């Protein structure tokens, strides 16, 4: 979730939730003010951020019946949206002020929408969209994740604003973003002095889509450490008690010529068998539970055998260290001292 490419730039991009009041009249003023800032390399307005909470409306070809329509999410954008988020344009063109009808008659769609429309050459085709208005497809953008990775990429469209924009995207030069935020606040106050500014980092907003998974991961890590610690305490106690009762046996074996390695194996093998049984029980259960959980995600990793092997090896090493601390001490004990005490 943290490393998968989403199909657009999310680093070095800030978003500002803009007030709807008087935004239309301030649109160009605030944009131009930010572009004067040397740290800013792109500014764009949009109706939404890519967190899955987009608007949607049925879409269908003008020549097809209403029953062929399918619900399609949309962004309302400005002329700089494609460049600011670095979206990939696969065909056609993006919105341009050189085409006066773009604001009312044009639409861009993604690859998923093209497939659902059944078009091989989508550019120039007419669709009915957003209240049944006729739109001309002027471009196709490469599929990108406008929702969380719980969901597969669905049909999506880009439209010019038909309502007041809600979000401002600001793309910054690389560097310490926190140092640049103060300058942006000053730029905002220059144009809108009496309006508070609410700045967010786009990558933080995307990560918030997985807040539940992050909490779950932290909780599992905490309980795992606690379980291993308690298991080691229990194992340490069992080994200490068992070895104490076998000190005479260890002493006799040493007198008869048993090496430290053989004594160590003798004292440890029963616990290694228990660890092997535990692993054989836990692996299939873990595999089943993890795969059930991963089914909640359209995009997921595969569970490989080496992950369980690595877990088993780590468990054996931790247990071996716990057992060895007592077993080596017993194996090195002087047989004369042990037999005299016994």
Tell me, what's the pLDDT at 115? 96
Whole-angstrom CA distances from 52 to 92, 129, 152, 205 are 26, 19, 11, 11
How is residue 291 written in tokens? Answer: 């795969």
- pTM of the model as a whole: 0.77
The pLDDT tens digits for 232-270 are: 888 888 888 877 777 777 777 777 777 777 777 777 787
Counting as low any pLDDT under 70, the low residues of the chain are: 22, 176, 331, 333-342
Tell me, what's the pLDDT at 258? 74
Q: What is the DSSP pairing of strand 133-141 with strand 106-110?
A: parallel
Tell me, what's the pLDDT at 154? 94
Render 223-279 in DSSP notation, one character per residue.
Answer: HHHHHHHHHHHHHHHHHHHHHHHTHHHHHHHHHTT--HHHHHHHHHHHHHHHHHHHH
Tell me, what's the pLDDT at 334? 66
The pLDDT tens digits for 47-97 are: 999 988 888 999 999 989 888 999 999 999 999 999 999 999 999 999 999
Tell me, what's the pLDDT at 341? 60
């Amino acid at each position: 979730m943290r490393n998968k490419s989403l199909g657009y730039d999310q680093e070095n991009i800030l978003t500002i939730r803009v007030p709807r009041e008087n935004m239309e009249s301030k649109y160009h003023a605030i944009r131009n003010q930010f572009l004067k800032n040397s740290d800013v390399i792109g500014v764009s307005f949009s109706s939404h951020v890519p967190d899955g909470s987009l608007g949607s409306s049925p879409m269908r070809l003008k020549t097809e019946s209403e029953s062929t329509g399918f619900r399609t999410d949309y962004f309302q954008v400005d002329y700089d949206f494609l460049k600011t988020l670095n979206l990939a344009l696969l065909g056609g063109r993006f919105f341009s002020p050189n085409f006066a009808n773009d604001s009312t008659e044009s639409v861009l769609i993604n690859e998923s929408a093209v497939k659902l429309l059944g078009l091989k050459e989508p550019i120039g085709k007419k669709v009915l969209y957003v209240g049944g208005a006729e739109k001309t497809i002027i471009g196709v953008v490469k599929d990108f994740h406008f929702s969380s990775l719980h969901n597969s990429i669905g049909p999506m469209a880009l439209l010019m604003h038909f309502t007041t924009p809600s979000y401002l995207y600001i793309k910054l030069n690389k560097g310490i973003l926190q140092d640049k935020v103060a300058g942006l606040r000053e730029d905002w106050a220059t144009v809108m002095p009496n309006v508070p500014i609410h700045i967010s980092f786009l990558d933080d907003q995307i990560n918030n889509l997985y807040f539940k998974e992050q909490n779950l991961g932290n909780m599992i890590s905490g309980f795992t450490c606690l379980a291993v610690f308690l298991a080691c305490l229990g194992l340490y106690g069992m080994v200490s008690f068992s070895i104490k009762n076998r000190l005479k046996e260890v002493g006799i074996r040493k007198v008869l010529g048993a090496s430290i390695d053989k004594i160590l194996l003798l004292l440890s093998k029963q616990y290694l068998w228990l660890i092997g049984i535990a692993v054989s029980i836990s692996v299939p259960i873990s595999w089943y539970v993890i795969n059930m959980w991963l089914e909640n995600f359209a995009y997921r990793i595969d569970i490989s055998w080496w992950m369980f092997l690595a877990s088993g090896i780590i468990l054996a090493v931790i247990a071996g260290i716990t057992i060895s601390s007592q077993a080596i001490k017993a194996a090195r004990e002087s047989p004369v001292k042990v037999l005299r005490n016994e």
